[in-house]
Amino acid sequence: MERLMVLGTGNASVTRCYNTCFALHDGEHAILVDAGGGNGIIHRLNQMGLDLASIRHAFVSHQHTDHLLGMIWIIRQIATLMLADQYEGYFCIHAGGGLTQTIRTISQLTLAPVMADLVDRRILLQEVEDGEKRRLGTYQFTFFDIGSSLTHQFGFTARLHNGRSLVFLGDEPLLNAGRRHAKDCDWLLSEAYCLYAQRAIFKPHEKFHSTVREACEAAAELNVCNLVLWHTEDTQLADRKRLYTEEGRQFFHGNLFVPDDLEEIIL
Ligand SMILES: [Zn+2]
């Protein structure tokens, strides 16, 4: 069954949950999207029962610490499996805006030579371009530059096996590029830093993020069916789902998901 495995739901600064990242699982293999900021990604994969050998493709949306650095740990662990003959074939990491070269450099600087030597041999770094279509495992992806003014950042649309469309926006509000792709989509994966009611406390706009209300208003305007919100603050995790859902429902009347870390969402 196709599902979204939610490995983390927090923004860059969280300490009570993991940074936002997820896997798209087709029932056999998983595509990892972002990896959080550290080796907590390995624990999260273990907790969700996701075997590294089942991950053949990964995508990194942009170069910020909370999305990129966990991928270095993934490379390290997969290299270890490859060296032990416990990983078959290639592991492909897709990223744009020159980020593949950054990943290559960090790997060379921080991994043992025997592991770093696998990069470009069995661990393949594949640069994506705006508008490029590419097959990742059993899914057809279309990558797009979200138009961030901070750094190169890419999102994607994927066509699910069940015919539905899934759009990932990275960790910035819906900009014009994203709007074109997100219009009428079945699943929209969007950041929402905090409640609109708490914007004076968390100051999302200064950080190029949006509130629950704004993400929901945008999704409603674009006629989205299912909206997933994450990349949030972590000061009220026990009540986050309820509070964010209460605020969001006033502005978005489709299905609203505010997952916790380790939740699975059936697509
Ligand atoms: Zn982020």
Q: What is the average pLDDT across 112-116?
A: 98
Instruction: Give me the domain span that covers residue 98.
Output: 3-266
Axis-axis angle for helices 212-221, 237-249 (nearest 10): 40
Reported as a pLDDT band with limits 50, 70 and 90, residue 189 is very high
Identify the pLDDT of residue 29: 96
pTM confidence score: 0.97
Q: Which residues surround ligand 1, an ion (CB under 5 A)?
A: 12, 66, 171
Centre of ligand 1 from the C-alpha of residue 66, in Å: 5
Q: What's the rounded Cα separation, in Å, for the pair 128 and 13? A: 28
- How many angstroms is it from 83 CA to the middle of ligand 1? 32
Whole-number Å distance, alpha carbon 114 to ligand 1 midpoint, is 31
Percent residues over pLDDT 90 in the chain? 94
pLDDT band, very low/low/confident/very high, at 247 (cuts 50, 70, 90): very high
Q: How far is the CA of 237 from the centre of ligand 1 (A)?
A: 17
Q: What are phi and psi of 144, to 5 degrees?
A: -145, 145
What pLDDT, on a 0 to 100 scale, did the predictor assign at position 204?
A: 95
Mean pLDDT of 129-155: 95
Q: Residue 160 is part of a domain; what is its CATH number?
A: 3.60.15.10
User: Mean of the pLDDT values across residues 27-48?
Assistant: 98
Count of domains observed in the chain: 1
Residue 45 and residue 22: Cα distance in Å, rounded? 10
Residue positions counted in the chain: 267
